Chains A and B, each alone.
Chain A
């Protein structure tokens, strides 16, 4: 798949990118009083999952199918949880996994609402959490849009959207 073909994909348009950026910013500022700085989005053809823990949700808007992954290194998710519920963590626990699931749910829900107002028809789905060493296999040719974010402690996290 050429870069031109990827960019023409409706899931990778500017409105889609902005919907996810706004979803992240609004979710973290409202629920965790945490400001984020958005880096420059980029596309990669080989999927690489970043961080120590990630929330995944299937994005279905027939005939399009995609996956949203929000991946966090420990430093970023620990800061977000501390700001959100006042609990401090030093290890990835089931409570941390739970928080990643809820954040993924809120960010996807927020972006989905904006996108559906633009004419898409994304359905709601329940997120899955992955942690530790894992491999995600792609069964179809797809590209991944990566949007990096930085927090006040300079740690980063990533939105990764794969479409097919």
Chain B
């Protein structure tokens, strides 16, 4: 599993969902958690963290947000070499095949469908870690 020193960015336009995800991450032992309420406000945080040499090790984003959707933020991240390998999970009420395919094509690490419980989020994170640690070994 990701080390407890991993720095998270949680993005959702609803503070309630950010609280739920943060609570779950805290229960898993993670304390380095920053928040943004939209893809548009998240992007400068991602850039600033990288510039400071303290990049996010895991991004968890809602899909459906008013100014910049999570899928667009994902595409923007994957377009930059420096963010290509950052684990990026989409959390969304969208669970239709066309959305899943779009997210997979854009390079999502995994996908959590709302409503979900903490066990599901943990399980998805473990799956992302399995892929991430394998890629890191190869690189």
Partner-B contacts on A (CB < 8 A):
26-27, 30-31, 81, 84-87, 95, 98-99, 101-102, 105-106, 108-110, 112-113, 116, 124, 126
Contact = CB atoms under 8 A, between A and B. Distances in A.
Contacts of B115: 26-27, 30-31, 106, 110
Contact of B96 (A87, A113, A126): A113
B93 A95 contact: no
Nearest to A109: B93
A113 B95 contact: yes
Interface of B: 13-17, 19-20, 23, 64-66, 92-96, 114-117
Given A110-B93, A113-B96, A84 B15 contact: no
Question: Lowest 5 CB-CB distances: which A-B pairs, in order?
Answer: A109-B93, A30-B115, A102-B14, A102-B16, A99-B16
B14 A105 contact: yes
A31 B93 contact: no
Nearest to A108: B93
A101 B14 contact: yes
A59 to B, nearest CB: 13
Contact of A102 (B17, B66, B96): B17
A87 B66 CA distance: 26
Contacts of B96: 113, 116
A81 to B, nearest CB: 8
Contact of B94 (A31, A98, A124): A124
Given A124-B64, A124-B93, A84 B117 contact: no
Contacts of B65: 126
B117 A31 contact: yes
A86 B26 CA distance: 14
A109 B15 CA distance: 18
B94 A109 contact: yes
B97 to A, nearest CB: 10
Contacts of B20: 31, 84-85
